[in-house]
């Protein structure tokens, strides 16, 4: 009669089964995602609808001057670009006005005051969309660099497939190996959490969007209230995807080769930046970040630590989990655009991500809100805007 497995071996077996199941899901799912750069261009002579590109900029003087010219250079026949300067305190407004004076496709809107119960960026996008004349509206960020043909491909695909919302994850440029490791971990967590390959399925609750590229059908967007339902959501890009999927068909793609952005200049800045919205992703529920951090550490860090002091079946089962984890981490870099060997440090990146979850909750609860680009938003109001 075989002896029962000890608790650590049972835990190791359960972890390995979860890794094998999640691994198969991610490997298959990632390969089902389309790539924006590989979408077929519209046939010659195809009439394309008017598109409005809307972006919000606050204190982006150091980046918008390089990114906006790539939007102005888009190879699209009927295009307007609306740049909303959201109360900037640097040279952003002057840079935008200078570019607009040289290009009639660019219109600049200056926001002087923020209405109550609105996050600045969301209000700016809502205001820009209100003035947009296009049949389609592309919401983007002030630091995104575009390939010239990306908009033609995206609009043609969305029209032929009857999609109301098309989003794409940009290629993230990074400096420093620790930042690359953390970006890869975030990409992996994003993929597992959102399951982007399920978004086109109307029977699935999966939804998502990316602030770098959220293309929406204007009539559907306005019918759903524009950004007003998202007025106090720091994760507005993801929730815009949820909103649009409720009103039509949605899809999320990979944007490598078509969209690039320098996401954060350092790991410290990434931690600070994600602190404002990680807790929002949990809908400000007290129990979610501690549980999420615990499960991340249990699934990603514990199997590595356990290799140091387990023996017998537990050792081999943990080794299997580590092997599956590192293989998936390296494979994910193919989709995140990083160095393949950063995937070997996936447990390190997930430990940092666990810290971000807990930090986001602690900072938000202690300060009773979030501070984003110089404006404080009270927690009681944030909690009231659930979607």
Per-residue confidence (pLDDT) for residue 4, from 0 to 100: 54
- The C-alpha atoms of residue 18 and residue 16 are separated, in whole angstroms, by 5
pLDDT at 229: 96
> Same structural domain for residues 350 and 223?
no
Task: Return d(Cα 27, Cα 171) in angstroms, integer.
Answer: 19
* 175 and 198 share one domain: yes
Distance CA 269, CA 29 (A): 30
| pLDDT less than 70: residues of the chain | 1-5, 174
Q: How many independent structural domains does the chain possess?
A: 2
- CA 112 – CA 107 distance, rounded (Å): 16
Contacts of 374 (CB under 8 A, 6+ apart): 59, 89
Per-residue model confidence (pLDDT) at position 176: 82
Residue 1 belongs to some domain of the structure: no
Assigned domain for 272 exists: no
> Can you give the pLDDT at residue 263?
82
Whether 273 is in a domain gets the answer no
pTM: 0.94
Query: Is there a domain that residue 17 lies in?
Result: yes
221 inside domain: yes
pLDDT for the residue 144: 97
Of 215, 240, 265, the domain-final residue: 265
pLDDT value for 1: 37
User: What is the rounded distance in angstroms from the CA atom of residue 221 to the CA atom of residue 104?
Assistant: 26
The residues pairing with 167 across neighbouring beta strands, listed in sequence order, are 214, 252
Cα gap 152→78, rounded to integer Å: 10
Which neighbouring-strand residues pair with 54?
Answer: 82, 139
**CATH code for the domain in which residue 219 is found:** 3.90.550.10
67 and 208 belong to one structural domain: yes
For residue 323, CA distances in Å to 10, 20, 347 come to: 18, 10, 12
| Statement to judge: residues 23 and 41 lie in one domain | no
Residue ranges making up the domain that contains 170: 36-265
């Amino acid at each position: 009669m075989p002896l029962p497995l000890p608790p650590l071996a049972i835990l190791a077996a359960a972890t390995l089964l979860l890794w094998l199941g999640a691994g198969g899901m991610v490997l298959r799912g990632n390969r089902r995602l389309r790539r924006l750069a590989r979408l077929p261009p519209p046939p010659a002579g195809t009439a394309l609808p008017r598109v409005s590109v809307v972006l919000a900029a606050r204190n982006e003087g150091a980046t918008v001057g390089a990114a906006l010219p790539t939007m102005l250079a888009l190879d699209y026949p009927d295009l307007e670009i609306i740049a909303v300067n959201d109360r900037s305190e640097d040279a952003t407004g002057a840079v935008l006005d200078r570019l607009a004076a040289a290009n009639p496709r660019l219109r600049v809107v200056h926001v002087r005051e923020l209405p109550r119960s609105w996050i600045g960026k969301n209000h700016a996008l809502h205001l820009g969309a209100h003035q947009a004349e296009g049949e389609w509206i592309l919401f983007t960020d002030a630091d995104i660099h575009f390939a010239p043909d990306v908009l033609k491909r995206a609009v043609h695909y969305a029209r032929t497939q009857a999609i109301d919302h098309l989003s794409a994850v940009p290629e993230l440029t990074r400096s420093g190996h620790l930042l690359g490791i953390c970006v890869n971990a975030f990409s992996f967590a994003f993929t597992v959490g959102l399951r982007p390959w399920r978004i086109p399925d109307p029977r699935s609750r999966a939804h998502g969007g990316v602030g770098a590229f959220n293309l929406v059908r204007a009539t559907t967007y306005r019918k759903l209230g524009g950004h007003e339902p998202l007025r106090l959501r720091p994760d507005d890009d993801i929730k815009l995807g949820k909103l649009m999927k409720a009103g039509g068909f949605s899809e999320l793609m990979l944007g490598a080769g078509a969209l690039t952005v320098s996401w954060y200049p350092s790991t410290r800045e990434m931690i600070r930046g994600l602190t404002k919205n990680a807790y929002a992703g949990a809908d400000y529920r007290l129990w979610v970040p501690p549980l999420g951090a615990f499960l991340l550490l249990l699934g990603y860090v514990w199997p590595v630590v356990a290799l140091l002091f387990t023996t017998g079946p537990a050792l081999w089962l943990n080794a299997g989990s580590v092997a599956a984890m590192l293989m998936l981490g390296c494979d994910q870099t193919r989709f995140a655009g990083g160095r393949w060997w950063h995937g070997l440090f996936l447990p390190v990146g997930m430990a940092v991500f666990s810290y971000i979850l807990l930090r986001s909750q602690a900072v938000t609860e202690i300060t009773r809100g979030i501070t984003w680009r110089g404006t404080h938003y009270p927690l009681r109001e944030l909690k009231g805007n659930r979607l």
